[in-house]
Amino acid sequence: MTDLARRTAFGFLRLSAMMTLLVMVPAGSLGYWPGWLFLVSSLGSAGVIALWLLHADPALLERRLEVGAAAERQPTQKIIQALASVIGIGLMVVPGLDWRFGGSTMPTALVWIGNLGIVAGYALCFLVFRENTWTFGTVQVSEGQTVVTTGPYAVVRHPMYASALFLFLFGPLALASWWAFVPAAAMVPAVMARIVAEERFLATHLPGYTEYQAKVRWRLVPGLW
């Protein structure tokens, strides 16, 4: 096993343990079946993508291992990422508490639709990785990096963040919690703030990005923003 494979496996196991604790402990019951289903759809999709990257684009996988507020190089992004991390924790904790105290009644069909939406979000993420090897986990520009204008980048300027919208929209359904839409809604302005700050950085440091902005009008959702 290569060093990259070992670090990827360790990171995946750590992520799996953290997500399982955040989702299941607040529920206070191993019978929280939407939580287990969400973990399977989320971690299963992430694992498949990680295995593909390990084989097809290890350099991109290496870049994706550097994530989080501590890894960010821009002060503004550190703040945004720290805030997004807190909201993301809330997005996983609230549904479990909701289940424990019986705050929501979610039809089973919506739970399954939510999980299909989660998988669709990861599928879009895969398309982004396949199209753009420069999708860093932090906001930066590397030597030799070029602007990607094909695939999902021909539709919106930030398809990676668009894939995250699937998690915010469908995550509460997958976890059977109407209350989870509160932290999900709070995540949207955090993502928008990150995009605006990131675009200022890219327009300054990545040649051709301002021309790309003029060519592709929409940042996140076609016809909306």
Domain assignments of the chain as residue spans, ordered by start: 3-215
What is the predicted pLDDT for the residue at 143? 86
pLDDT in tens, 70-123: 888 888 889 998 999 999 999 999 999 999 999 899 999 999 999 999 999 999
Report if pTM > 0.85. Answer: yes
Under 8 Å between Cβ of 23 and 15 = no
What is the distance between the alpha carbons of residues 179 and 101, in angstroms, rounded to a whole number? 12
Under 8 Å between Cβ of 139 and 201 = yes
What is the distance between the alpha carbons of residues 107 and 143, in angstroms, rounded to a whole number? 50
10-residue mean pLDDT series, the chain (225 residues): 91 96 96 98 97 95 86 88 93 96 94 98 96 89 91 96 93 97 95 94 94 95 93
Among residues 129, 84, 108, 130, the alpha carbon closest in space to that of 176 is found at: 108
- Specify the CATH class of 3-215 in words: mainly alpha
What is the predicted pLDDT for the residue at 1? 65
The identity of residue 63, as a single letter, is R
Four-residue CA torsion sign, 68, 71, 72, 77: positive
What is the predicted pLDDT for the residue at 162? 95
What is the predicted pLDDT for the residue at 112? 98
* Two structure tokens written together for 101: 């105290």
